[in-house]
Amino acid sequence: MKREGSPWTGLWAVVLKEYADHLSSVRMRILEGLILVVAVATVYAAAQSLRQTVGEDPFIYLKLLTTSQDPLPSFVAFMGFLIPLTGIALAFDAVNGEYNRRTMSRLLAQPIYRDAVLMGKFVAGLLTMATTLLGLWLLVTGLGILRLGVIPEAREVGRGLFFLLATLAYGGVWMALAMLFSVTYRQPATSAMATLAVWLFFAVFWEIVVRLLSNVAALVVMRGGTENELALVQVQLFLSRLSPNTLYSETVLALLNPDVRALGPVLITQLEGAVRGTMLPLWQSLVLAWPQFTALIAAVILLFAYAYILFQRQEVRA
């Protein structure tokens, strides 16, 4: 049946309301405060250890993000778990919160489609995350200028922006998952726990699972030979790439380290002609990270689409 009017009628109204809510919510203040402290601490520490090499390193600003200084992990490593948390915090009560506040039926009785409600919430979440990340990036750059005394080059800014984009996609995955659970579970506490559980599973247990599975696979294909071994590594890699965390860390690895020329196992033959220590131009790093990056986006789209379908069919009554 053909519906009249655009499914996006009222989308902006929802986006603006949700965005304003996020910006003023205590939850986001806490997370932003945390991210701020982490950013300042890690970047400051990294700058400390990088001061000697200023001028030698053409990508010093990227090093700010990836250098870890004992006992602090790098900025990127911290982001790897603060961003999922942010994504989850932004969406775990997106839909069930409306039911619990009993605003859902009133909201849906306004001349808008459900599409606009779900999409509006998602876009507002992404906007909030983008705002935070952009602010963070400016802060890091500012700190860098202060501590290192050099202005970032265009190529660094370019990589930085793609890094932000990848981070946004990564956060988007967790946001979409949280939103999905907010549709399926009526209690925000349940949907928050469920999303956190999935995140924890991928952050901690997935590597273990992958190793176990590949050990099993190794038993099956015992009859050695490099070919089998290679196949095994590839299976392991494939499995590990089912985790958004792996996808993200590989994307970031390629984007923030211009000297990384391959992700995964490299055969010596593939390195033929490559000069050690040469840097890849941005577009080549992009090509390198492309599959991982698009996989992240695909995950966002799939999760969102699933949440969307479930939400469309849901009863209005709580």
Partner 1 sequence: MNEAVIETQGLTKRYGDLTAVDDLNLRLQAGEVFGLLGPNGSGKTTTILMILGLTEPTAGTARVLGYDPLRHPLQVKRRVGYLPDSVGFYDELTARENLRYTARLNGIDRAEADRLIEQVMERMGLRDVVDRPVGTFSRGMRQRLGLGELLMKRAQIAILDEPTIGLDPEAAHEFLGMIRGLKADGITVLLSSHLLHQVQAVCDRVGLFRKGKMVLEGTFEALSERVLGGSYRINVEARRDGLERLLAAVPGVVRVTPVRGGRYLLEASRDCRSEVARRVVGEGGELLELTFERVSLDDVYARYFQEARGEA
Ligand X SMILES: Nc1ncnc2c1ncn2[C@@H]1O[C@H](COP(=O)(O)OP(=O)(O)OP(=O)(O)O)[C@@H](O)[C@H]1O
Residues in binding contact with ligand X, number by CB under 6 A: 2
* Cβ nearer to partner 1, comparing 109 with 208: 109
* Cβ nearer to ligand X, comparing 70 with 315: 315
* Cβ nearer to partner 1, comparing 51 with 106: 106
* Cβ nearer to partner 1, comparing 43 with 91: 91
53 binds, among partner 1, ligand X, none (CB under 5 to 8 A by kind): none
Q: Which of 27, 2, 9, 195 is nearest to 117 (CA)?
A: 9
Q: Which of 134, 253, 317, 318 binds ligand X (CB under 6 A)?
A: 317
Contact status: 312 vs partner 1 (CB under 8 A): no
Contact status: 70 vs ligand X (CB under 6 A): no
DSSP secondary structure code for residue 63 in this structure: H
* Cβ nearer to ligand X, comparing 271 with 316: 316
Contact status: 48 vs partner 1 (CB under 8 A): no
Place of tokens 């988007």: 172
Tokens of 35: 């991210």
Tokens of 145: 């200028």
In the complex, least distance from residue 317 CB atom to ligand X, rounded to whole angstroms: 6
HSE (side-chain half, CA atoms, 13 Å) at 172: 27
Contact status: 316 vs partner 1 (CB under 8 A): yes
* Cβ nearer to partner 1, comparing 4 with 227: 4
Q: Which of 225, 226, 227, 317 binds partner 1 (CB under 8 A)?
A: 317
Contact status: 223 vs ligand X (CB under 6 A): no
Place of tokens 């930085």: 160
In the complex, least distance from residue 97 CB atom to partner 1, rounded to whole angstroms: 10
Q: From residue 95 to residue 134, what is the string marking binding to partner 1 with x (rule CB under 8 A)? A: ------xxx-xxxxxxxxx---------------------
CB 74 within 8 A of CB 49: no
Contact status: 315 vs ligand X (CB under 6 A): yes
In the complex, least distance from residue 18 CB atom to partner 1, rounded to whole angstroms: 10
Q: From residue 51 to residue 90, what is the string marking binding to partner 1 with x (rule CB under 8 A)? A: ----------------------------------------
Backbone angles phi, psi at 149, to 5 degrees: 75, 20
Q: Which of 162, 230, 242, 154 is nearest to 198 (CA)?
A: 242
Report H helices in 149-205: 154-184, 188-200
Contact status: 29 vs partner 1 (CB under 8 A): no
216: burial class by Cβ within 10 Å (0-12, 13-18, 19+)?
exposed
In the complex, least distance from residue 17 CB atom to partner 1, rounded to whole angstroms: 5
How many whole angstroms from its chain centre is CA 190? 22
135: burial class by Cβ within 10 Å (0-12, 13-18, 19+)?
middle
**In a 3-state reduction of DSSP, which class is residue 287?**
helix
276 binds, among ligand X, partner 1, none (CB under 5 to 8 A by kind): none
Vertex 261: Cα angle to 38 and 234 (nearest 5): 95
Place of tokens 């205590």: 26
C-alpha–C-alpha distance, residues 162 and 137, integer Å: 12
Per CB under 6 A, residues contacting ligand X are: 315, 317
Positions that interact with partner 1 (CB under 8 A): 1-5, 9-10, 13-14, 16-17, 21, 101-103, 105-113, 315-317
